[in-house]
Amino acid sequence: MNPEKIQQYGDALYKALCWQRPLPPLTDKEPDITIEDAYRISQVLLARRLDAGERVVGKKIGVTSKPVQDMLGVFQPDFGFLTDTMECPDGADIPIAGHLIQPRAEGEIAFRLRKDLQGPGVTEQDVLDATATIMPCFEIVDSRIVDWKIKIQDTVADNASCGVYVLGRNEVDPRDFDLPSLKMTIYKNGERHSEGLGSAVQGNPLTAVAWLANTLGEFGIPFKAGEVILSGSLAPLIPVVAGDEMSLEIEGVGGCSCRFV
């Protein structure tokens, strides 16, 4: 794809983000679009956000678990960037009108890094060595593509469909836990909604984060000390509307919550 089209689609996604007006799938207009094209589009989108004053504070991997892949019809992971304006405090009231288009909540394990890490060649042990703490997290994904009609190229171009995220207050040492066995329970409006294990994300959250480090490493993008890395949803995505309250608990780790207004 030529640079002019890369710029055009990146600008269009930025406008969709700002105006909350979703676009038709890029893959409908450009059936030959590659994942590398999509990544370069996402870089234009990110550059527009940074020019507006945002700053990168982390990265995310998405579409890692089979339930999410089956729900979206996307059968390989995607990746994107977190900025400071996306982070919401535990217990936050998250406005939908004027901020989000078609939000869905997913429960995750977030990693906070204590040192830089860059692929290729990153292993699960490298990830563990580079991690300071883990914590419970809600990522509120929000596609800028009409009706979530996405293929992998659409979601990569759209910054992995990232909306905002909520980090739990409790941070723990991952070396104290068997991460694949961690059990998450998600509640919607006070009622148990779904459950998931750490093993839902590529068998181990460490595997997912290593994949992300190596994938971004192919583009020369490092993980940096202090950044937050979202490792992927442990359960199916949950559509939310104004008035919904979401909470989750990870056994032995802690929980987090948010409300939509």
For the chain, list residues with pLDDT below 50.
Answer: none
What is the C-alpha separation between 238 and 156, in angstroms, rounded? 20
Task: Give every strand in the sheet of 191-197, ordered side by side.
Answer: 92-94, 254-260, 245-250, 183-188, 191-197
DSSP state of 32: T
pTM above 0.85, yes or no: yes
Angle at 74 between CA 192 and CA 44, to 5 degrees: 105
Tell me how far apart the alpha carbons of residues 170 and 193 are, in angstroms, rounded to a whole number.
22
The first and second tokens of residue 162, run together, are 């990232």
**Tens digits of per-residue pLDDT, 144-172?**
999 999 898 999 999 999 999 999 999 99
Pairing of strands 131-142, 78-83: unpaired
What is the reported pLDDT for 77? 76
Answer whether 112's CB lies under 8 Å from 228's CB: yes
Contact 52, 76 (CB under 8 A): no
Q: Which amino acid is at 96?
A: I
The structural domains of the chain, ordered by start, are 3-260 (3.90.850.10)
Nearest in space to 157 (alpha carbons), one of 1, 58, 10: 10
Q: What local confidence, expressed as pLDDT, does residue 62 receive?
A: 76
How many angstroms separate the CA atoms of 160 and 162, rounded? 5
